[in-house]
Chains A and B, each alone.
Chain A
Amino acid sequence: MSTVTTSTRPVDAAPGRTAAARLQAWLPRLVLSPSIAISLFFVYGFMLWTFILSLTNSRMLPSYEFVGFAQYARLMENERWWVAATNLGIFGGLFVIICLGLGLLLAILLDQRIRQEGALRTIYLYPMALSFIVTGVVWKWLLNPGLGIQAMVRGWGFESFTFDWLIDPKMSVYTLVIAAVWQASGFVMALFLAGLRGIDDSIIKAAQLDGAGLPRIYWRVVIPCLRPVVFSAVMILSHIAIKSFDLVVALTGGGPGYSSDLPATFMYTHAFTRAQIGLGSASAMLMLGGVLAILIPYLYSELRSRKHG
């Protein structure tokens, strides 16, 4: 790649015009540097700052009295933190897997060249264009046992129908999954549909000639081709799951009690409403560590296998 670009740009190598050539060579770096500097400063600088705060006994205001890892020890003993961390695991895992499954099924459906595909695609994608706050409001209503789905189904005559996950501490975290899946599965569908359209027809024709049925073709031929799409979808979905904060605020408020807390809301509650900046920062750092531990290996294994494959 790099040899091709240098050969098409002989100016770089011309020894006579050193000043211009040097500028040419440095230009991209100069132009890029603001974006990179901004990212570096804001991402790593601030994370470092958070880490430093997590080692202090800061309460309402940041103080720089260091207490070592005492805040982390406190966090480990905090039951609410464990609820929040477990919830992120449940929510993130289910959200990613269900979205991938539903998205793939919807994409296969739309790939059958059905009528008004464009309009359908837009409608499926609509929830993705909404704010999580709005999603939370909508589903808070639908999942409210006295108003939404439960009331509706009971109104049709099924008096014993119960769907009260929103007020059930054991199930409340699953209501987050429902709302988030509603929001994002159309998006995954669009990604998969683009991937399906990119697959060479001749591969499928060949499989058909070999006598493979449609389900078998999808399972053995088409889906393996979609691996890069799965990769980007997982990356974007886990990004959504990790930063989920607004959905919790709008849908369950972390409740009942703190049964549907996520680390983001835990951190917010402790740092801002309970004046525990040190503890909140420690939880942010642990969350960061967890994300890195799970995502980085996946990122690298995917990128490496792609380089070799």
Chain B
Amino acid sequence: MTTARTKPLASTSNQAAIKEGRHAAFMNTAARRRLGLTVLGWTIAGVIFFPIFWMVLTGFKTEAAAIAEPSLIFSPTLESYTAVHGRADYFKFAMNSVVVAFGSTLLALLIAIPSAYSMAFLPTKRTKGTLLWMLSTKMLPPVGVLVPIYLLFRDVGLLDTRTGLIIVYTLMNLPIVVWMLYTFFKDLPKDILEAGRMDGASTLQEVLFLLLPLTLPGIASTGLLSVILSWNEAFWSLNLTSSNAAPLTAYIASFSSPEGLFWAKLSAASTMAIAPILVFGWLTQKQMVRGLTFGAVK
């Protein structure tokens, strides 16, 4: 069947090529090459997305189905989701994640915007060096400061509190946030702020009414990156929280270690933890790509 169908197609394309000359033949191979590459691209996308897809699928299976022969055909059930919620209050952990991720992002932006402003618009000889130094602190392994922070938090009662996590996440993301904001601010033509100053705007007005509205997309990307990083953070959340302030990452980890064999529940818990990011990320594709690449993609 298939051979019979491809033959006439091939001959018509041959006739077309003869009719329209070499140019058409070239276009044809180019189009075919493009089609091949598109198929290849989507195949790779399928491979990359498969683990996520499979996890979401497993969350809708029963425990028995999850460890049976891998199969696409099964009767979906919400059993695991209700079980997960019954064992530990999902919404409490989700709320912790939301508060901590957004709280630390807001705080980081609040501290970073003035820094980035002064670096971008009032540069000195040492600005570049300072910036590089701030970034270089990100290269140092966090285990190097874990023990002191743990001891300090224990002594001042910040262990297992949202406030404690917000502080740590703010510190963690601050260098990246300052640096990204700096690059976005620098892209803004200087004349605009100059003009504002000519009209008698104070520095504060200049920042609030000119700089921030004009660089809003950049600030949004930066904020989104900070939210994602805080949302996903597990090193500090595992080490500094136990039950009260534990965010979703700690929640999944708690499912992972003692009962690693309950795959359906584990998948359901993980799915609930990543669903907000997957959905939100798809809706704000442009901002997400820009944020996750630290502003490299314009």
Q: How many A-B residue pairs have CB under 8 A?
A: 272
> Bound complex: CA of A138 vs CA of B271, how far in Å?
10
Q: Is B136 an interface residue (CB 8 A)?
A: yes
Chain A residues with CB below 8 A from B119, complex form: 28, 32
Residue of A whose beta carbon sits closest to that of B145? A46
> Bound complex: CA of A285 vs CA of B148, how far in Å?
13
* Contact (A140, B260) CB under 8 Å given A115-B38, A246-B249, A291-B139: yes
Chain A residues with CB below 8 A from B40, complex form: 109
Contact between chains at B141 and A263 (CB < 8 Å): yes
Classify chain A's interface size.
Answer: 35 or more
> Bound complex: CA of A105 vs CA of B293, how far in Å?
17
Provide the main secondary structure of the chain B interface: helix
> Bound complex: CA of A7 vs CA of B177, how far in Å?
30
> Bound complex: CA of A285 vs CA of B175, how far in Å?
22
24 A-B Cβ contacts within 8 A?
Answer: A28-B122, A38-B171, A42-B149, A45-B148, A47-B144, A49-B145, A62-B147, A125-B289, A125-B293, A127-B51, A127-B52, A129-B292, A134-B274, A137-B267, A138-B51, A138-B270, A155-B70, A182-B51, A190-B297, A194-B296, A238-B139, A246-B249, A268-B146, A271-B146
A residues neighboring B (CB under 8 Å): 1-2, 5, 8, 24, 27-29, 31-32, 34-36, 38-39, 42-43, 45-47, 49-50, 53, 62, 106, 109-110, 112-116, 118-134, 136-142, 146-148, 151-152, 155, 182, 186-187, 190-191, 193-195, 229, 232, 235-236, 238-239, 242-243, 245-246, 249-250, 253, 263-264, 267-268, 271-272, 277, 280-281, 283-285, 287-288, 291, 295, 299, 303
B residues neighboring A (CB under 8 Å): 34, 37-38, 40-42, 44-45, 48-49, 51-52, 54-55, 58, 66-67, 69-70, 111-112, 114-115, 117-119, 122-125, 130, 132, 134, 136-151, 171, 174-175, 178, 190, 203, 228, 231-235, 238-239, 248-249, 252-253, 256-257, 260, 263, 266-267, 270, 273-274, 277-278, 281-282, 285, 288-289, 292-294, 296-298
